[in-house]
């Protein structure tokens, strides 16, 4: 019970501090994009529009008013959930983000799971072979893995499994001809809810390559952090004391070593997950995956300000949410933060 | 040579040798160890750090450091050889029949598991009686070690408890299986004197209850003589002397035992000088080439014959053996006279604190009311020119907080500090600069106080950087050479890094650094705790010598009352932020007025083994835990 109270306290505190952060980010987004030498009014009209037509459009869009007032209006609409209309796609930004965000979240979450599995397994293995000749070999490979970025993995995996062996699909979220249920927007979840197993498995197949690429790229740093925090934990007296009480090495590792070593690994995972939201961009492009990354690239290419603003804010909210989740997990796992 | 054989020893070592086996060279760690321990007896293992005391415990568990191995002899537990037995068999003995109590109670428990989770794990491993609930059993075990509120304790995490409570929990766990052998490796070194006394008494009580044989490892000969039946003094991996505790302590036969005894300041009777053991124990690497007695290079009684053959362990008396060819000369080793020049009569007051108070308030939070805690509560004190004033008390009594106020690391919330006639209470920019000229601080742990990436020469002259004077490389090297000479280090030490020095040498550097700009006042926070008595004696005499040369005064914070008695002219006794008693050291210690001072003094093991040590009686009403 006490744990829930502490976490509730943390949540309240973090939500309160999130408000000024969001205000500052929104103001920054608004200002920077207003400074850009791009005229949204001219862009939303056909290229042969006259100067008068552009002026009329500027008035209609409110671009002739002072910047502060414009920000006020924009913020007011934002509160109502209206981020504006995309100039390029001619659709509400909210619905554009609403249809791409779940795809990216799905990608990021599964990629993080892959990274966690590889990272923990690799870290434990690195720790297990400590002090042996195998350690030097493993060390070499973990550095090799560390130095390969996710887009290279994307290309390797795509060429090997998609093009050469032709065993896995590598474009989009779903093959043509599959029914696409829409409830939450999360394709895997929705197909499970509706019991549409063919769609579920097809969508899962599409996720394998991009998630592997992201996960493999993230895992080496997790491995190395876990290994070094395990080594640190094993310097501590309680490990020696557990041995002297006759506990088995396996039990010492899992119950005593890993439980302490997981804490630094967890904070690294939090940071990585935050980066993953921006970092799926290249992978989404390579696999033509219809997520936030592709949307963002289109928006930037077309100077589609409302989308850029909306996506920027979404990113900020996502990072805040992730950090709150990680901090709560930290509270659960580290009693020093929880009880005094 | 006498091999002490008991009828049914629980543990017996015969010609036990442990070596560190390197790829290129190997060297001895323990040499020809013979001893046996009967059920229900306590064997005290004494010696300086590096003597091999802890290695015996590690050999019993066979968790030796990498590259170390038993190369000769046997170590039998109840007739079974621990060295050659299958690891699985040995592991089944650990925690059940052979239990360990660690040195650092706080880190001996896993920080992310509750006490309950940890004792449950242990109880389930050693096995419960049919139908017995682990929780009830845990509470029973807690009761046996006098831990109140056992049920609440099960839910706590180690960081919520004091060191003394953690040690009691570890003792409860160790005795839960009614072990036949217990190894306690410096179990009280990290604890306050009063708690040390209680923990030692508790181990003795539990040991009597179960008839457990105990190996009690300590660097404190006086403590060992109080608790043990027999004592073995180790020197450089080899037994120097072994005998019944009382006899060995009152009439030591080996010069090393005698020197250790005389290096430790007394707590009662007339003050005497400290015997300074020169240098330090030969390192493991040199032992192989060393001919003759390993102690010869430091022995005041050594003659040429001592460096030729290694002296065998010879009978001295009943069950008493020593490895020395001139044991009859040992009683002739006497402490030097008290260092002269201790009477520095001066009425000039350097530093004056009036009603000094430091209150801490809890951090602001919308969920809890802020509360204040007075770490230092209305303390008055003075420090005269050339005077050494000791501050004693348990941890949490406010000693270190007071030191921080004096050096200006903290600003008092109330009261006044006057330094050489100027009020420095406000601790502003100019007060700080003024204070720096006068006061320097020496920190407790040289390991973390010295920047590992700077050379000693640059560390000791660090104060020049702050003062902005004599910052030229040439000037600094010259000053460093002077300082190193004063503290007794070779000039080439200036080019070394802290990691290349021993613990005692590092603490000397720590002192030299504080002395660089010739301050008038030193504030020293526990600077000799955790050091061997031999190194401690060297440092104490160094401080006295430096005072004779430079005439500085010092606030000396320590939990070790005998050290304060030896070094300090006056003493302040602190309890919960307040000074409960103060005065001339000898007067206060000879005739303590406050019950808290009496309980502190009673907690120190007496100098005379025949005096009964009764720490518990005097402490009533003054318990921190």
pLDDT at B617: 47
pLDDT at A224: 92
Contact B111 A260 (CB under 8 A): yes
Q: Which residue of B lies nearest to A252 if distances are taken between CA atoms?
A: B110
- Domain assignment present for A85: no
If you average pLDDT over residues A258-275, what whole number do you get? 90
Asked if B284 and B276 count as a contact pair (C-beta separation under 8 A), the reply is no
A109 and A71, same domain (yes or no)? no
Given CB atoms, is B209 within the 8 Å cutoff of chain A?
Answer: no
B94, B112, B170: residue with CB nearest A246: B94
- Domain assignment present for A34: yes
The secondary element (H helix, E strand) that includes residue B17 is strand B11-21
What is the percent of chain A where pLDDT is above 90?
A: 36
> Considering only CB atoms, which chain A residues are within 8 Å of B113?
255-256, 259
- Domain assignment present for B59: no
Question: In whole angstroms, what separates CA B266 from the centre of its chain?
Answer: 16
B8: pLDDT strictly greater than 50: yes
Asked if B168 and B202 count as a contact pair (C-beta separation under 8 A), the reply is yes
pLDDT at B4: 47
- Domain assignment present for B12: no
If you average pLDDT over residues B368-384, what whole number do you get? 85
A vs B: CB pairs below 8 A: 73
If you average pLDDT over residues B607-618, what whole number do you get? 75
Mean pLDDT, all residues of chain A: 87
Dihedral Cα A150, A152, A154, A158, nearest 10 deg: -170
Give B577-606 pLDDT, tens digit per residue: 999 999 999 999 999 999 999 989 988 999
pLDDT band per the 50, 70, 90 thresholds, residue B7? low
A19 and A155, same domain (yes or no)? no
3-state DSSP assignment of residue B243: strand
If you average pLDDT over residues B438-466, what whole number do you get? 88
Return the CATH number at A276: 1.10.3720.10
Counted residue by residue, chain B has a size of 625
A10 and A131, same domain (yes or no)? no
B92, B112, B160: residue with CB nearest A260: B112
B322: pLDDT strictly greater than 60: yes
Q: What share of chain B is helix, strand, coil (3-state, %, to 5)?
A: 35, 25, 40
If you average pLDDT over residues B136-151, what whole number do you get? 92
Return the CATH number at B367: 3.40.50.300
pLDDT at B340: 58
Give B506-554 pLDDT, tens digit per residue: 999 999 999 888 899 999 998 988 788 888 999 999 999 889 888 899 9
DSSP string, A49-113: --HHHHHHHHHHHTTTS-HHHHHHHHHHHHHTT---B-TTT-SBHHHHHHHHHHHHHHHHHHHHH
A310 and A174, same domain (yes or no)? yes
Which residue, among A135, A239, A243, A246, would best test binding to B if mutated, counting the most B CBs under 10 Å from its CB?
A246
Last residue in a domain, options B124, B157, B176: B176
Residues 38 through 67 of chain B touching chain A, CB cutoff 8 Å? 61, 63, 66
Contact A244 B125 (CB under 8 A): no
- Domain assignment present for B30: no
Q: What share of chain A is helix, strand, coil (3-state, %, to 5)?
A: 75, 0, 25
- Domain assignment present for B337: no
Last residue in a domain, options B139, B155, B176: B176
A39 and A166, same domain (yes or no)? no
pLDDT at B154: 94
A35 and A10, same domain (yes or no)? yes
- Domain assignment present for A180: yes
- Domain assignment present for A200: yes
- Domain assignment present for A88: no
Last residue in a domain, options A47, A79, A111: A79
A143: pLDDT strictly greater than 90: no
Name A191's Cβ contacts closer than 8 Å, sequence gap at least 6. A181, A197, A199, A200, A203
Contact A336 B157 (CB under 8 A): yes
A57 and A107, same domain (yes or no)? no
pLDDT at B616: 59
- Domain assignment present for A159: yes
What does the alpha-carbon distance between residue A38 and residue A307 come to, in Å, rounded to a whole number?
14
B619: pLDDT strictly greater than 60: no
Contact B160 A238 (CB under 8 A): no
- Domain assignment present for B587: yes
Question: In whole angstroms, what separates CA B1 from the centre of its chain?
Answer: 34
pLDDT at B367: 61
Question: How crowded is residue A96: how many other Cβ atoms within 10 Å of its Cβ?
Answer: 24
Asked if B598 and B400 count as a contact pair (C-beta separation under 8 A), the reply is no
Give B82-96 pLDDT, tens digit per residue: 999 999 999 999 999
pLDDT at B10: 94
A100 and A66, same domain (yes or no)? no
- The count of domains in chain A is 2
B621: pLDDT strictly greater than 50: no
pLDDT band per the 50, 70, 90 thresholds, residue B288? confident
A191 and A149, same domain (yes or no)? yes
- Domain assignment present for B387: yes
Last residue in a domain, options A50, A79, A108: A79
A246, A263, A336: residue with CB nearest B125: A246
Last residue in a domain, options A79, A106, A127: A79
A155 and A23, same domain (yes or no)? no
Full residue range of the structural domain in which residue A13 is found: 2-79
pLDDT at A45: 74
> Considering only CB atoms, which chain B residues are within 8 Å of A240?
63, 102
> Considering only CB atoms, which chain A residues are within 8 Å of B100?
241, 244-245
Contact B100 A241 (CB under 8 A): yes
- The count of domains in chain B is 2
List, in sequence order, the alpha helices (H) in B339-470.
399-407, 429-438, 446-449, 456-460, 462-467
Full residue range of the structural domain in which residue B130 is found: 111-176
Give B61-85 pLDDT, tens digit per residue: 999 988 899 999 999 999 999 999 9
B41: pLDDT strictly greater than 90: yes
Give the angle A289-A293-A296 at the CA atoms, nearest 5°. 130
A178 and A31, same domain (yes or no)? no
The C-alpha of B236 sits at a distance from chain A's nearest C-alpha, in angstroms, of: 25
Angstrom CA distances, A85 to A139, A305, B87, B231, B492, stand at: 51, 9, 72, 88, 76
Angstrom CA distances, A74 to A311, B408, B583, B592, stand at: 15, 53, 75, 78
Mean pLDDT, all residues of chain B: 88
B625: pLDDT strictly greater than 70: no
What does the alpha-carbon distance between residue B544 and residue A339 come to, in Å, rounded to a whole number?
46
Which residue, among A231, A244, A251, A262, would best test binding to B if mutated, counting the most B CBs under 10 Å from its CB?
A244
Contact B125 A245 (CB under 8 A): yes
B624: pLDDT strictly greater than 60: no
What does the alpha-carbon distance between residue B322 and residue B293 come to, in Å, rounded to a whole number?
12
If you average pLDDT over residues A289-318, what whole number do you get? 88
Give B243-278 pLDDT, tens digit per residue: 999 999 999 999 999 999 999 999 988 888 899 888
If you average pLDDT over residues A214-231, what whole number do you get? 93
> Considering only CB atoms, which chain A residues are within 8 Å of B94?
243-246
Asked if B273 and B568 count as a contact pair (C-beta separation under 8 A), the reply is no
B94, B111, B157: residue with CB nearest A245: B94
What is the percent of chain A where pLDDT is above 70?
A: 98
What does the alpha-carbon distance between residue B150 and residue B141 come to, in Å, rounded to a whole number?
9
Q: Which residue of B lies nearest to A261 if distances are taken between CA atoms?
A: B112
Contact B157 A237 (CB under 8 A): no
Token pair listed for A280: 């799926």
Tell me which of A78-82, A244-248, B151-155 is least confident.
A78-82
> Considering only CB atoms, which chain A residues are within 8 Å of B96?
246
- Domain assignment present for A58: yes
Contact B111 A238 (CB under 8 A): yes
If you average pLDDT over residues B146-152, what whole number do you get? 89
ipTM given for this complex:
0.83
Give A5-50 pLDDT, tens digit per residue: 888 888 888 889 989 998 999 888 888 777 777 777 777 777 777 8
pLDDT at A340: 64
- Domain assignment present for A199: yes
Chain A: which residues have CB within 8 Å of chain B? 9, 131, 236-238, 240-248, 255-256, 259-260, 263, 333-336, 339-340
The C-alpha of B110 sits at a distance from chain A's nearest C-alpha, in angstroms, of: 5
Q: Which residue of B lies nearest to A263 if distances are taken between CA atoms?
A: B112
The secondary element (H helix, E strand) that includes residue A298 is helix A292-301
Give me the residues paired with residue B579 across strands.
Answer: B574
Contact B91 A246 (CB under 8 A): yes
What does the alpha-carbon distance between residue A11 and residue A17 come to, in Å, rounded to a whole number?
10
B459: pLDDT strictly greater than 60: yes
Q: Is B104 left (phi over 0), alpha (psi -120 to 50) or beta?
A: beta
Contact B94 A242 (CB under 8 A): no
A160 and A217, same domain (yes or no)? yes
If you average pLDDT over residues B397-410, what whole number do you get? 91
- Domain assignment present for B376: yes
Given CB atoms, is B163 within the 8 Å cutoff of chain A?
Answer: no
Given CB atoms, is B157 within the 8 Å cutoff of chain A?
Answer: yes
């Amino acid at each position: 019970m006490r744990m829930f109270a502490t976490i509730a306290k943390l949540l309240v505190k973090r939500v309160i501090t999130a408000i000024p952060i969001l205000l500052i980010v929104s103001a920054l987004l608004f200002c920077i994009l207003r400074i850009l030498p791009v005229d949204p009014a001219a862009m939303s009209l056909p290229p042969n529009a006259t100067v008068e037509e552009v002026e009329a459009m500027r008035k209609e869009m409110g671009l002739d008013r002072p910047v502060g007032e414009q920000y006020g209006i924009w913020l007011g609409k934002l509160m109502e959930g209206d981020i504006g209309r995309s100039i390029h796609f001619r659709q509400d930004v909210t619905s554009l983000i609403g249809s791409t965000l779940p795809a990216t979240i799905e990608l990021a979450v599964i990629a993080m799971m892959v990274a966690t599995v590889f990272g923990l397994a690799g870290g434990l293995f690195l720790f297990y072979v400590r002090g042996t000749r195998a350690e030097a070999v493993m060390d070499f490979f973990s550095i090799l893995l560390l130095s390969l970025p996710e887009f290279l993995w994307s290309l390797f995996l795509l060429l090997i499994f998609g093009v050469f062996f032709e065993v896995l699909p590598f474009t989009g979220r779903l093959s043509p001809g599959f029914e696409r249920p829409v409830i939450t927007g999360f394709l895997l979840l929705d197909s499970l809810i509706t019991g549409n197993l063919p769609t579920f498995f097809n969508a899962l197949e599409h996720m394998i390559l991009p998630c592997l690429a992201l996960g493999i790229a993230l895992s080496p740093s997790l491995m190395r952090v876990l290994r070094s925090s395990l080594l640190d934990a094993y310097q501590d007296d309680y490990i020696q004391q557990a041995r002297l009480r006759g506990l088995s090495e396996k039990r010492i590792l899992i119950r005593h070593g890993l439980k302490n070593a997981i804490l630094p690994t967890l904070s690294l995972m939090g940071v990585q997950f935050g980066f993953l939201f921006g970092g799926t961009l290249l992978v989404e492009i390579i696999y033509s995956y219809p997520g936030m990354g592709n949307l963002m690239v289109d928006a930037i290419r077309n100077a589609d300000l409302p989308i850029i603003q909306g996506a920027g804010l979404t990113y900020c909210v996502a990072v805040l949410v992730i950090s709150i989740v990680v901090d709560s997990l930290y509270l659960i796992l580290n009693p020093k933060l929880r009880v005094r | 040579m006498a091999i002490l054989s008991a009828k049914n020893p629980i543990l017996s070592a015969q010609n036990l040798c442990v070596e560190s086996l390197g790829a290129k060279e190997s060297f001895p760690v323990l040499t020809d160890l013979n001893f046996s321990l009967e059920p229900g007896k306590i064997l005290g293992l004494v010696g300086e750090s590096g003597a091999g005391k802890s290695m015996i415990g590690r050999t019993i568990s066979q968790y030796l450091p990498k590259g170390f191995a038993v190369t000769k002899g046997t170590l039998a537990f109840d007739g079974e050889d621990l060295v050659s037995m299958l690891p699985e068999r040995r592991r089944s003995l650990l925690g059940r029949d052979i239990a360990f109590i660690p040195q650092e109670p706080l880190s001996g428990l896993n920080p992310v598991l509750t006490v309950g989770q940890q004792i449950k794990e242990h109880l389930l491993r050693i096995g419960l009686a049919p139908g017995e609930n682990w929780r009830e059993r845990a509470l029973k075990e807690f009761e046996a070690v006098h831990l109140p509120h056992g049920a609440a304790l099960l839910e706590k995490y180690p960081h919520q408890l004091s060191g003394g409570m953690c040690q009691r929990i570890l003792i409860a766990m160790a005795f839960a299986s009614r072990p036949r052998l217990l190894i306690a490796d410096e179990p009280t070194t990290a604890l306050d004197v009063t708690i040390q006394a209680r923990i030692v008494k508790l181990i003795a009580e539990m040991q009597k209850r179960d008839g457990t044989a105990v190996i009690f490892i300590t660097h404190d000969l006086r403590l060992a003589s109080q608790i043990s039946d027999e004592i073995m003094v180790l020197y450089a991996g080899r037994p120097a002397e072994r005998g019944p505790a009382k006899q060995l302590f009152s009439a030591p036969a080996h010069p090393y035992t005698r020197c250790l005894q005389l290096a430790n300041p007394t707590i009662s009777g007339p003050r005497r000088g400290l015997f300074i053991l020169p240098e330090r124990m030969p390192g493991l690497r040199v032992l192989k080439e060393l001919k003759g007695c390993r102690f010869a290079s430091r022995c005041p009684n050594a003659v040429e014959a001592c460096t030729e053959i290694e002296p065998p362990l010879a009978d001295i008396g009943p069950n008493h053996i020593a490895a020395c060819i001139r044991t009859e000369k040992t009683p002739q080793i006497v402490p030097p006279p008290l260092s002269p020049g201790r009477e520095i009569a001066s009425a000039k007051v350097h530093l004056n604190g009036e009603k000094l108070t430091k209150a801490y308030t809890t951090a602001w939070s919308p969920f809890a009311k802020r509360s204040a805690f007075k770490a230092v509560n209305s303390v008055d004190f003075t420090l005269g020119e050339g005077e050494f004033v000791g501050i004693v008390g348990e941890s949490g009594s406010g000693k270190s907080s007071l030191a921080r106020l004096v050096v200006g690391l903290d600003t008092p919330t109330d009261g006044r500090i006057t330094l050489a006639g100027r009020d420095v209470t406000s601790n502003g920019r100019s007060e700080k600069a003024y204070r720096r000229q006068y006061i320097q601080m020496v920190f407790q742990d040289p390991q973390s106080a010295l920047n590992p990436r700077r050379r000693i020469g640059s560390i000791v002259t660090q104060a020049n950087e702050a003062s902005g004077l004599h910052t030229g490389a040439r000037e600094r090297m010259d000053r460093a050479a002077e300082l190193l000479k004063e503290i007794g280090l070779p000039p080439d030490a200036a080019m070394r890094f802290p990691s290349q020095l021993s613990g005692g040498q590092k603490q000397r550097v720590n002192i030299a650094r504080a002395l660089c700009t010739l301050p008038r006042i030193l504030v020293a926070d526990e600077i000799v705790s955790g050091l061997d008595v031999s190194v401690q004696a060297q440092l104490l005499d160094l401080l006295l010598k430096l005072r004779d040369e430079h005439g500085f005064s010092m606030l000396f914070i320590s939990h070790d009352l005998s050290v304060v008695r030896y070094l300090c002219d006056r003493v302040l006794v602190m309890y919960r932020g307040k000074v409960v008693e103060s005065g001339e050291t000898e007067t206060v210690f000879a005739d303590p007025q406050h019950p808290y001072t009496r309980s502190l003094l009673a907690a120190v093991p007496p100098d005379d083994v025949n005096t009964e040590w009764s720490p518990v009686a005097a402490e009533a009403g003054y318990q921190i835990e």
